[in-house]
Amino acid sequence: MKFNLTQLERLSVLACVTGLALLAIFFAAAWMGDPEPDWLPMLISAIAGFEIFMVLDALRKRREGGGSNG
């Protein structure tokens, strides 16, 4: 199976995987009772904000006819 992803789409996939890994670290630390680092929630929310922007940008481009399905 071959995916034809643009460089921006590959960046989005990488951000998604990174965000999920950081989220797993956050919940593992909470489950084990360890204090999570102060920077971890901020980094997770920054990556989530990037992903929300990417989804909304793709929807806008698709609506205008400039996206991959347009």
Percent of the chain with pLDDT over 70: 90
What residue spans define the domains of the chain? 7-63
* pLDDT of the residue at 68: 58
Q: Residues 12-55: pLDDT tens digits?
A: 888 888 888 888 888 888 899 888 788 888 888 888 888 888 88
* pLDDT of the residue at 69: 54
Token look-up 């929310």 returns 45
- Angle formed at CA 12 by CA 6 and CA 13, multiple of 5 degrees: 90
* pLDDT of the residue at 32: 92
